[in-house]
Amino acid sequence: MTYFVRDKAEISDTRRTGEGYVTARAKAVRSGVQEYRAYELGDAAIADGFSRNDVVRVMRPDAEVFATDSAATFSHVPVTVGHPREMVDAANWKEYAASVDTFEIEADETALPGQEEENANQ
């Protein structure tokens, strides 16, 4: 089974740059077993026979999460506040984006942190 996973990030180390941007560190992805409600995983989980509110345990192995090609999918993507009901893409990013992930890979045991940048002068 392959699921698109929407997740939250822990944000820390915020600071304002001389140019007026705010930077922060965020744990962008995690490895290990994580629990989601089926509706959080989208139509694929429902198609696999889960009811909307069933708890689905998803194993995300280190080898997959921290692989270079996997990590590259998190680079330079819009960061949203909350989970939009639709996928964020080139056509709708202005509606949902709160900042952009400029991502520098630094893996710890369970998380792959990213670097966020937001223009605080908007």
Task: Report residue 116's pLDDT band, with 50, 70 and 90 as the boundaries.
Answer: very low
Instruction: Specify the residue for token string 């993507």.
Output: 77
pLDDT reported for residue 117: 43
Instruction: Specify the residue for token string 């990030």.
Output: 9
Q: Residue 114 — φ and ψ, nearest 5°?
A: -120, 170
Tally of domains within the chain:
1
Beta strands per DSSP E along 10-110:
11-16, 21-30, 32-37, 55-60, 78-80, 97-101
pLDDT digits (tens, 9 = 90+) for 1-13: 566 666 666 777 8
For residue 2, being part of any structural domain is answered with no
For residue 3, being part of any structural domain is answered with no
For residue 75, the enclosing domain spans: 11-119
pLDDT digits (tens, 9 = 90+) for 92-108: 988 988 777 665 656 66
pLDDT digits (tens, 9 = 90+) for 20-32: 887 777 776 778 8
pTM as predicted: 0.54
Residue type, 55: V
For residue 51, being part of any structural domain is answered with yes
pLDDT digits (tens, 9 = 90+) for 35-83: 888 888 878 888 899 999 999 998 888 888 878 888 777 777 787 877 7
The radius of gyration of the chain's CA atoms, rounded to the nearest angstrom, is: 16
